Amino acid sequence: MNIAVIDDDKLVALSLKTILESTGNITVAAMGTNGEEAISIYRETHPDVMLMDIRMEGMTGLEAGTQILKEDQSARILYLTTFADDEYIIKALNMGAKGYILKQDFDGIAPALEAVMNGQTVFGERIITKIPELMKPKSDYDFASHGINDKEREIMELVAEGLSNKEIAAKLYLGDGTVRNYISTLLEKLCLRDRTQLAVYYYTEVRK
């Protein structure tokens, strides 16, 4: 199996090359450090599988993967990243990637490549647990018509999940006072009295 490894950390790429080629079944035919190189490498070498990072300088792995699959729907792209970010997972699923695994699952990389080569779609254990929730239909609630921006929406969701102001502040890297201000603004916009009403509103009107 000939693969390409795309990772902006050259040491990681070289380590992957050494480990994967030691299996005797995998040859790293090309390596790159960003999305632009990934596209060029795919066009030139057409690897059996492209093992690609997501966060890279310039063009991201997701952007590169989208372009590659636009040009060749049969391309096998396996994402290898340190981030189990919900947004990344959803984009990878929607674009047609063949897998999404974490770098922490080092022992599983070679088996994942073999599985992708055999036509399977592969997700690491931590990713699999997220997928059912991520694929649930989302609300079509029109936040914009109520003047609610993305940050306010995020805070509303966290309030509905039962997080305290302090917990929300820590999660979003905001000050406690800033969170209080956001919640006060939300209450005013929605004509609600307190955070309990806000939570009820979220589940009865937003996620109904």
Yes or no: say if 171 and 163 are a contact pair by the CB < 8 Å rule. yes
- Packed helices 109-117 and 10-21: angle between N→C axes, nearest 10 degrees: 70
Tell me if residue 35 falls in helix, strand or coil: helix
The number of angstroms, rounded, from the C-alpha of 192 to the middle of its chain's C-alpha atoms is: 34
pLDDT band at 121 (very low <50, low <70, confident <90, very high): confident
Residue 19, pLDDT > 80, answer yes
Yes or no: say if 80 and 113 are a contact pair by the CB < 8 Å rule. no
Residue 103, pLDDT > 90, answer no
pLDDT band at 131 (very low <50, low <70, confident <90, very high): low
**CATH number for the domain whose boundaries are 144-206:** 1.10.10.10
Residue 138, pLDDT > 70, answer no
CATH of 2-134, one of 3.40.50.2300, 3.90.1150.10, 3.30.390.30, 3.90.550.10: 3.40.50.2300
Whether this model's pTM surpasses 0.75: no
pLDDT band at 168 (very low <50, low <70, confident <90, very high): very high
Residue 96 has what pLDDT?
82
Domain segments of the chain as ranges: 2-134, 144-206
Residues across the chain: 208
pLDDT band at 28 (very low <50, low <70, confident <90, very high): very high
Ramachandran sector of residue 137 (left: φ over 0; alpha: ψ -120 to 50; beta: rest): beta
